[in-house]
Amino acid sequence: MADTTKTATLTIDGTDYELPVHQPTAGPDVVDIRKLYGQAGVFTYDPGFTSTASCDSTITYIDGDAGILTHRGYPIDQLAGKSHFLEVCFLLLYGYLPKAEELEDFETTVTRHTMIHEQMHNFFRGFRRDAHPMATMVGVVGAMSAFYHDSTDISDERQREIASFRLIAKMPTIAAMAYKYSIGQPFVYPRNDLDYAANFLHMCFSVPAEEYHVDPILARAMDRIFTLHADHEQNASTSTVRLASSSGANPFACVAAGIACLWGPAHGGANQACLEMLKEIGTPDQIPEYIARAKDKNDPFRLMGFGHRVYKNFDPRAKVMKQSADEVLDLLGVEDNPTLQVAKDLEKAALEDPYFTEKKLFPNVDFYSGIILEAMGFPTAMFTPIFALSRTVGWVSQWKEQLSDPQMKIGRPRQLYQGENLRDYVDIENR
Ligand code: SDX
């Protein structure tokens, strides 16, 4: 962290406390309160961490007002248009764009880690067929720590790297197996002659009874969806992974915790919730009723796929996703998809409504992704597993960064206690 000469003064009960202010490469200045409790005997209060920087990082930067997202300085729209997911994985993990031979080595390494231990197949059979695939993924990924003991020592840099390869490589296999299990079809092994996205589509949609040809346009759209979901600063699931890792937990346990957090409909579960909402709306003439419900403070309903803690402008990922949606639906000859029509009309209606524009509630990454995934043939229950598969590289990159930070210590927030003061126990006969 850069040394700082800038300070902020906090006055409490007539005493001034000088707090260092760190100036970032980009974004707001950061007031360093690490010594505040020791000096002033007070805590700061920030449930939901709306004004709190939990760490310093060099991986991803978001300018929510400008609608900018960069990975190691490269804008997401350029990466989505010119790069591909495994190159973005290399960039997130190592901090620079690889030379051709470096990229080839990395892709070969990931390809060679795509199979899972054969005995892990038994885990899937312990679940009901109608288990949500996210439940299966939380369980199976957590169980990886019972199989890959040679990459759980977080003090060993090489083991950290191997664990990173294993998680990035095996997540598509596990997600595809969760899908196949849920529909009663046999598991499909990965193929080393296919690229990352094509391999995932192959493992999801091929069957032993016939040849399956991966359409290159769908593979490209799948790869782009992976890239758009790869990392996103200190979002809830990434913060979960960092907090779990701060206790020294192994990488597979930490990523399983991240998957569990991502599942929530306010976070990664929003893509499934958004498509279910669009289907519930059904036709454009029903849109005004749902917009009224979203604005009604007495109604818990919110427009899924709208709003964001950081973006107070368009989510740049949503713009790219919208282009992909048009391409995929055009290719599949479903450009008149009624759900897409409701999505486009809903977006237009919301963006013309002062409630949404004044609160800066714009479509986020989850608004269009579900439409593409449904058009590709995925059930809504597979949307969040695909988000988890994509975000694994972000979780792993942030996990590695935290472990290499000499300042790292166990995360242990305090609280604003509002409970009872000290009191004596009362025997039951005296109550
Ligand atoms: C992701 O953090 C990340 O980076 C996440 C993510 C990533 O890549 O990791 O980008 C992925 O999680 C995207 C977000 C997906 N979630 C949804 O689409 C669910 C719907 N959105 C909302 O639940 C909400 O917008 C959040 C959770 C995304 C953000 O919530 P905030 O920042 O805590 O905002 P808030 O709840 O304080 O809302 C501010 C106001 C409130 O009204 P007031 O109390 O001020 O009157 O806006 C309203 C909210 O009621 N509001 C909405 C709304 N979102 C916020 N009203 C209607 N519909 C919505 N979607």
The mean pLDDT value for 315-327 works out to 89
* 335, pLDDT greater than 80: no
Look at ligand 1, atom 36, and give the residue with the nearest C-alpha: 309
> How many CA atoms does the CB half-sphere of 288 hold within 13 Å?
1
Atom of ligand 1 nearest to the CA of 229: 8
The Cα–Cα gap between 27 and 23 comes to: 8
Tell me the per-residue pLDDT of 102-159, one tens digit each, with 9 for 90 and over: 999 999 999 999 999 999 999 999 999 999 999 999 999 999 999 998 999 999 999 9
Query: Is pLDDT larger for residue 328 or for residue 184?
Result: 184
Q: What pTM was computed for the model?
A: 0.94
- What residue owns the CA closest to ligand 1's atom 42? 359
Hey, which of 267, 311, 398 would you mutate to test ligand 1's pocket, going by the most ligand atoms within 8 Å of its Cβ?
A: 267
pLDDT (tens digit per residue) in 54-66: 999 999 999 999 9
Residue positions annotated with a catalytic role: 308, 366
Contact yes or no for 306/367 (Cβ under 8 A): yes
| Average confidence score pLDDT of the chain | 95
Q: Whose CA is nearest to atom 45 of ligand 1?
A: 359
Whether residue 80 has pLDDT greater than 80: yes
User: What is the mean predicted confidence (pLDDT) over 168-194?
Assistant: 98
Q: Is the pLDDT of residue 333 over 80?
A: no
Asked if the model's pLDDT at residue 230 lies above 80, the reply is yes
Long-range contacts from 1-4, C-beta under 8 angstroms, 24+ separation:
1/56, 1/407, 4/32
Helix (H) or strand (E) holding 399: helix 383-403
Number of the ligand 1 atom closest to the C-alpha atom of 305:
18
Position 5 scores a pLDDT of 82
H or E stretch at 15? strand 15-22
- Ligand 1 atom 25 nearest Cα: 307
For ligand 1, residues with CB inside 6 Å are 232, 235, 266-268, 270, 294, 302-309, 359, 361, 364-366
Question: What's the CA gap between 71 and 89, in Å, rounded?
Answer: 10
Atom in ligand 1 nearest the alpha carbon of residue 365: 13
Nearest CA to ligand 1 atom 15: 267
Q: How does 320-358 read in b/e, with b if 16+ C-beta sit within 10 Å?
A: bbbebbebbbeebeeeebebbebbbebbeebeebeebee
Pocket test for ligand 1, best of 54, 311, 361, 398 (most atoms within 8 A of CB): 361
Q: Strand, coil or helix: what is 405? A: coil
End-to-end CA distance of the chain: 57
* Atom nearest to 237 CA in ligand 1: 9
Instruction: Say what the pLDDT of residue 243 is.
Output: 98
The residue among 111, 189, 216, 137 whose CA lies nearest residue 383 is 137
Ranking 4-13, 233-242, 384-393 by mean pLDDT, the lowest is 4-13
Residue-wise pLDDT tens digits, 4-62 = 689 999 999 999 999 999 999 999 999 999 999 999 999 999 999 999 999 999 999 99
- CB-based contacts of 178: which residues, under 8 Å, 6+ apart? 124, 133, 136, 137, 140, 385
